[in-house]
Structure 1
């Protein structure tokens, strides 16, 4: 059974992905700074980690098998210490050291070459977090990992609904249910064609 390790599992998209991958029958481990925020994590293996601490990240990665699929949706909008870049940098470095190869990182529309398409209002509200995530993308792209980057539009509550559309170029705007993002993540990980590729998704 394929092992899937999900960082940021206590809330939001990470929590939705835990539930989705469990439903698909994968062997899921959730990683979170505060797992108690997500009661569903009591049903799966759980690791506690503050991703802003490189020693904690290295220790946590040492506990996962090298053939695991690793997923991260870590984010810290308006948090005192942002995890978006530094947490992912620590994680990417630790995965390389452990020789864990397969990693999918969820960022957001507006990152990288989609920055010009972000509205002025969105840049004012989310610009700092988007720039942090863009730095994380760059760190990942220059790593030795078999990576996939997924940039969803605005996230909303909801289960997978089959309405999500993946694309790799052009201007895209819109929202998407967290459950549908989880379904697209599974789809991408199951395809070797997604390795070293960047996608965006909206409904």
Structure 2
């Protein structure tokens, strides 16, 4: 892998992914609305790009700076945000990647998206169902694109080290949590596996407790 581009690099799962791939000596291009929010990004990333993913022109300008052979990972999310990025930001991103001939894209959403909605509890649907529905729309837009995509739906996210115990599954009911760093490790595995193109996976870590 020559380089990985991480959208949502300044916090949460995106920052954990930046740290993970940097530790693997893989060049990281970090993209975030406010990259200065996390001082460590300057040392961890080969390049930093400022981008407001809710602005189509900003997304197109950011994608226009990327190498054609880069792998793009998006961890963008906007739970309880007044300006949600989950659907519209990913729609702009997918369209810009297609336009610029950048093929490989990994989208991280969450358990409960798409056909896994049926497994969400009523409490979860009430608490964060709106964000899950936005992410489901992003999944639908991506899956109907021409990109070489993989979608990963992690369970509840926690801070912690890579355990190498994260489990990938498909089309079965799963519940649980997982470290952000472990999600990054699983993303790395999926990127290296050509059979993951066009696939959707769930992931949790049975060794991590709530």
Fold match, TM over 0.5? yes
Structure 2-normalised TM-score? Answer: 0.95
Equivalences for 1:4-153 in 2 at 5 Å?
4-43=4-43, 44=45, 45-153=47-155
1:40 CA displacement: 1.7
3-state DSSP class of the match of 1:83?
coil
1:169 CA displacement: 1.7
Distance 1:95 1:194 in 2: 19
Distance 1:90 1:189 in 2: 22
> Which residue is 2:208 aligned to?
none
Aligned residues: 203
3-state DSSP class of the match of 2:28?
strand
Structure 2: give runs of 5+ residues left out of the alignment.
Answer: 206-210
Equivalences for 1:152-171 in 2 at 5 Å?
152-171=154-173
Structure 1: give runs of 5+ residues left out of the alignment.
Answer: none
Distance 2:146 2:84 in 1: 24
3-state DSSP class of the match of 2:162?
coil
3-state DSSP class of the match of 1:105?
strand
1:3 CA displacement: 1.0
Distance 2:108 2:40 in 1: 21
Distance 1:101 1:176 in 2: 28
1:78 CA displacement: 0.7
Structure 1-normalised TM-score? Answer: 0.99
Distance 2:172 2:160 in 1: 26
> Which residue is 1:201 aligned to?
203
RMSD value over aligned CA atoms? 0.7
1:159 CA displacement: 1.6
After the TM superposition, which parts of structure 1 deviate over 6 Å for at least 4 consecutive aligned residues?
none
3-state DSSP class of the match of 2:40?
helix
Distance 2:8 2:121 in 1: 27
